[in-house]
Amino acid sequence: MLDMPIRFAFETSFGVMRRRYVPLLTLRANGLEGYAEGVMDHLPLYREETVPGALALLEGQLLPRLLGQSFATPEALALALAPYRGNRMARAMVEMAFWDLWAKHLGLPLWRVLGGVRTGIPVGVSLGIQPNAQATVDLAAGFVVQGYRRVKLKIKPGWDEEPVRAVREAFPGIQLTVDANSAYTLADTAALQALDAYGLKYIEQPLAFDDLVDHADLQRRLRTPICLDESITSVADTRKALTLGAARVINLKVGRVGGHLEARRIHDLTLAFGVPLWCGGMVETGVGRAHNIHLSTLENFTLPGDTSSASRYWERDIIQEGLEVAGGVMPVPDGPGIGVTLDRAVLDRVTRQQTTVRAGARPRIDDLPDQPPPDEVY
């Protein structure tokens, strides 16, 4: 478990984030290591999963059932994870670390194994809620000068049209979007309709985190496309959302949907529907950021994502490579796997808890009065 202070206070409709508690998983096999990080929060604010719950599931169930076994492909590993419902962020950690390990075994960068088509990723920036409209404009100005391809503003009821108007007037030609993080209801339709006047590329997740039906209703009342984020956890969710007309854009976060396999299925479905994708971020370290970059090389990621420069968030990242944007484009790491290596000195400084699970460990099912056999799947 890593304790990563953020360089600035990042305010959204959830609250203010000043640090990230990051579960980092290392899988080892045949002298190689595969890395992935968890994107769940310490509290269930974004989705239901939490860091403590994910660690308990990983240490007590998922890893003991998988370690010591041989899996020829990520698809084979996915079959072993399939009996466990939900908990997609925890399962994604195992699946994504295996993808990194597998690609390193093949001697290929992950983007080639995934089927990517580009070596540079157009990038946007996400701006937290600022004290006032002028502060929002001033912050946006710095990123416009740096060449970021899209500016996204966090909004909430009572703080929406004012910052949007100010930024649009200051930068009439930029691609501008907003993200509500589920802060509105259908009762706020008029406030959301007011944003139609500002030429937004999309309004991200205005309504409840688990809703599709109300988003479809709202989309019929808006000219601006709705982009779904929290509501999309699987290819099944995506199909339902697109069939209902609940979204015209999808924010695909690989950790939220359970890993790269499900992310590719969602990619292929949206491509068939003609609905564009972009890759969102969860304030990841360089490990999660590298996974996001490789995923974003797939064909239908046609809108700028949230993989901005790592130095924006961290004084020192936990990887040795600098993942930095130049001219609004993030280059794709070209080494085997995710193409980054851990900075052990930094990692030692930010590690607050470390657990080793070895092959042969037995799954734990705690606090059950009649404990079943340890190899029984629940």
**Residue from 104, 152, 201, 253 carrying the catalytic annotation:** 253
Contact between 314 and 327 (Cβ < 8 Å)? no
Spatial distance between the Cα atoms of 168 and 21, rounded to a whole number of angstroms: 35
Nearest alpha-carbon partner for 148 in 167, 170, 128, 123:
123
Per-residue pLDDT 10s for the chain (378 aa) are 999 999 887 778 767 888 899 999 999 999 999 999 999 999 998 999 999 999 999 999 999 999 999 999 999 999 999 999 999 999 999 999 999 999 999 999 999 999 999 999 999 999 999 999 999 999 999 999 999 999 999 999 999 999 999 999 999 999 999 999 999 999 999 999 999 999 999 999 999 999 999 999 999 999 999 999 999 999 999 999 999 999 999 999 999 999 999 999 999 999 999 999 999 999 999 999 999 999 999 999 999 999 888 888 889 999 999 899 999 999 999 999 999 999 999 999 999 999 999 988 888 764 444 444 444 332
Residue 88 C-beta-side C-alpha neighbours within 13 Å? 19
pTM: 0.93
Angle at 246 between CA 164 and CA 39, to 5 degrees: 70
Tell me whether residue 253 is one of the annotated catalytic residues.
Answer: yes
* In the chain, where the domains are located: 2-112+342-350, 115-331
Spatial distance between the Cα atoms of 118 and 377, rounded to a whole number of angstroms: 41
Please tell me the CATH superfamily of domain 2-112+342-350, with its number: Enolase-like, N-terminal domain (3.30.390.10)
Spatial distance between the Cα atoms of 156 and 201, rounded to a whole number of angstroms: 18
User: What is the per-residue pLDDT for 378?
Assistant: 28
Tell me whether residue 201 is one of the annotated catalytic residues.
Answer: no
Q: Write down how long the chain is.
A: 378
Q: Which fold has domain 115-331?
A: TIM Barrel (3.20.20)
**Residue from 104, 152, 154, 201 carrying the catalytic annotation:** 154
Strand partners, 290: none
The single-letter DSSP state of residue 188 is G
